[in-house]
A and B are shown apart, each in its own frame.
Chain A
Amino acid sequence: MYKYITRRVLQFIPMLFLVTVVVYGLAQAAPGDPMSGEILDPDIPAEVLEERREALGLNDPIPVQYWNWLSSVAVGDFGQSMHYTGRSVSELVTSRIMNTLYLSLFALAVTILVAIPIGIYSSKKPYSLLDYSATTFAFLGLATPNFFAALIAIYFFSFQLGWFPSQGTVSSVGLTGFEYFIDKLRHLILPGFTLGLASTAIYMRYLRTEMLEVMGSDFIRTARAKGLGPGSVLYKHTLRNALIPIITLLGFEFGTLLSGAVITEAVFNYPGLGTLFLNSIQNRDYPVIMAINLILAVTILVGNLLADIFYAIVDPRIRYD
């Protein structure tokens, strides 16, 4: 197992290299550069801009620029933002990354806490009222695009009812301790539920189907023939098998923790990695684009590795050696 993990981690290196080459190429292929954005003052003389380009190395051939970027990243230096003058990329990213992590974990918690109990209940009483309601909800959840669900949530729960704030992560500065925590949490609720909606629907359906499938298998009949009560049969023998694919999927879900929230963050104007990423793309802020991209690639690779490790843990038939 350790050998397997080491091998997989070593495989990350060439994959990450390829990812950076492709993304760097794509970012450069987009028209314009950090000096040609609309928001720049049109009165700035062209020579000044040209001087800045020269200073930032934007006039070098792309392979040279890439090499410069790569060699500094290799020693841990992600460089300076080209848009937010004077701010380092690491500083920008670290200021945002926790917000995104909170949001994603909140959404993941919503998914698990809602989908698993309802999925189990639906399978226990298929074709009951709750099962039909859950199915209806699941299809609505899947059919509603994230940004639309976000707008509806803002309209009802923020604009009409005024229960939750519709944007940002804090309402006023100077809050401390418990009050700060509650305020943060209130800001998480709408984007968190919106982000968790689709995956809740997927997991709920998945678990229900999986449970029903396992319930029909021979070994469940054996478990009942042994005289086990309905509780042991359902929560031990059935659930343990039905969770195998679910847990594996959750590993992949971990990989999308940081990258999944771009649109939701944008709609809620939530200062996370996603909004920073979008802005950097608009501003052609290459170092920031590359850094965020590298982080996302690493989390996705780690997530996939986790999924495979989880799989081996929950299913004794799977062995890596």
Chain B
Amino acid sequence: MKKDRILDVKGLKTQFKIDKTRVAKAVDNIDFYIEKGETLAIVGESGSGKSITALSIMQLIPSPPGKIVDGSIELDGIDLLKLNEKQMTETRGNDVAMIFQEPMTSLNPVFTIGTQVSEPLRKHKKMGKKEAKKQTIELLKLVGFPRAEDIFHEYPHQLSGGMRQRAMIAMALSCAPKLIIADEPTTALDVTIQAQILDLMLDMKKKTGSSILMITHDLGVVAETADRVAVMYAGQIVESASVKELFVNPKHPYTVGLLNSMPKIEQDTERLESIPGMVPPAHNFPQGCRFAPRCKHAMEQCTEALPELIEDGLNHKVRCVLYDGSGKGVSHVK
């Protein structure tokens, strides 16, 4: 079972130094894994640490002030945190690639799409100019550009946001990485384009067999793309389960809150529910359960100690005192 894990993150802690005394614990001791060919979604609000988790895997944390202080990130059995910068350079784009949130600014304005998409091929696969061009045009066709030869010579400003994101996907796929990290790949796009890009990603996954780590705040994206979900809150994973299980049987009050804040087609409600308050700042987490100040089920016990992440035996984990490990939630949570 374990050797099928393409990514295995254990005890990851990424911190940012704010000043001499304060440290922001952006990612605080998280564990998760992704199996071969699987899509894991990490969901959470802004500031929950999900993007920092993604950048930690790539080791692209702005440093200083950021630093990975503990943990291990095994990609296909190799601990990325033990690699030196040169080895990491050879890994990025080759074994693990990343798609970013902002297609408008994520491409270099002064180089053609062709140059930028073919760069990983030339660097990692040591391809010559001609060979890389041929391969790049194939890739551009694969991600849905009908006139790939023309696009090859065009500049990013000549493309729309959705097209640029397609180019980013082509770039990420170019070296057939084992893992693709997509950090909110559809957030900046129009709704119709969002669906196209998600379809494209699923299609590509089927064709290439890559695993995907999907970072998103959009539960709709999760439902559409992921196999499993991890819900992040204040730098920690508070719940993880298969997508179906999580949507049918959410346990953590935060997850329940997130699901309730989604509009439902079968319900005619005037107002959507929302979770009051905000994610606490990463340098000043409350004692005990970090969600307790916003939780409507909070009790005295919640503020005393941080609850453990408990598994119910069916691979559904939750970090909440309401669950004792037997798998039965307290009924009033729903």
Q: Which residues of A contact B (CB under 8 A)?
A: 217-219, 221-229, 232, 237, 240-241, 244, 314-317
The complex places the Cα of A224 from the Cα of B123 at a distance, in Å, of: 12
Chain A residues with CB under 8 A of B168: 222
Asked if B100 is an interface residue, CB under 8 A from chain A, the answer is yes
Chain A residues with CB under 8 A of B110: 240-241, 244, 314-316
The complex places the Cα of A237 from the Cα of B94 at a distance, in Å, of: 19
Contact stretch, chosen from B67-75, B85-93, B210-218, B283-291: B85-93
Chain B residues with CB under 8 A of A244: 110
Asked if B245 is an interface residue, CB under 8 A from chain A, the answer is no
Given contacts A315-B110, A316-B110, A317-B155, contact A227 B105 (CB under 8 A): no
Q: What is the minimal beta-carbon distance from B92 to any residue of chain A, in angstroms?
A: 4
CB closest chain-A residue, reference B110: A240
Per the CB 8 Å criterion, the residue count for chain B at the interface is: 30
The complex places the Cα of A316 from the Cα of B102 at a distance, in Å, of: 20
Chain A residues with CB under 8 A of B111: 237, 240
Asked if B143 is an interface residue, CB under 8 A from chain A, the answer is no
Extra 5 A-B pairs, beta carbons < 8 Å, given A218-B100, A221-B106: A222-B116, A225-B93, A225-B98, A316-B155, A317-B157
The complex places the Cα of A224 from the Cα of B100 at a distance, in Å, of: 12
Asked if B120 is an interface residue, CB under 8 A from chain A, the answer is yes
Which B residues between 128 and 179 are near A, CB-CB below 8 angstroms? Answer: 155, 157, 168, 171
Chain B residues with CB under 8 A of A221: 60, 100, 106
Q: What is the minimal beta-carbon distance from B203 to any residue of chain A, in angstroms?
A: 22
B60, A224: Cβ atoms closer than 8 Å: yes
Chain B residues with CB under 8 A of A316: 109-110, 112, 155, 157
Q: Mark B47-89, 1 if CB is under 8 A from A, else 0.
A: 0000000000010100000000000000000000000001001
The complex places the Cα of A221 from the Cα of B89 at a distance, in Å, of: 13
CB closest chain-B residue, reference A233: B89
Q: What is the minimal beta-carbon distance from A288 to any residue of chain B, in angstroms?
A: 45
CB closest chain-A residue, reference B101: A218
The complex places the Cα of A241 from the Cα of B155 at a distance, in Å, of: 14
A225, B102: Cβ atoms closer than 8 Å: no
CB closest chain-A residue, reference B105: A218
Asked if B124 is an interface residue, CB under 8 A from chain A, the answer is yes
A227, B60: Cβ atoms closer than 8 Å: no
Closest 3 pairs between A and B when the two form their complex, measured CB to CB: A227-B93, A227-B92, A226-B93
Chain B residues with CB under 8 A of A240: 108, 110-111
Asked if B40 is an interface residue, CB under 8 A from chain A, the answer is no
Chain B residues with CB under 8 A of A237: 108, 111
Q: What is the minimal beta-carbon distance from B179 to any residue of chain A, in angstroms?
A: 12
B108, A219: Cβ atoms closer than 8 Å: yes
Chain A residues with CB under 8 A of B124: 227
Chain B residues with CB under 8 A of A227: 89-94, 120, 123-124
Asked if B119 is an interface residue, CB under 8 A from chain A, the answer is yes
CB closest chain-B residue, reference A221: B60
Chain B residues with CB under 8 A of A232: 123
Chain A residues with CB under 8 A of B58: 225
A226, B123: Cβ atoms closer than 8 Å: yes
Asked if B107 is an interface residue, CB under 8 A from chain A, the answer is yes
Chain A residues with CB under 8 A of B120: 226-227
Asked if B302 is an interface residue, CB under 8 A from chain A, the answer is no
Chain B residues with CB under 8 A of A218: 100, 102, 105-106
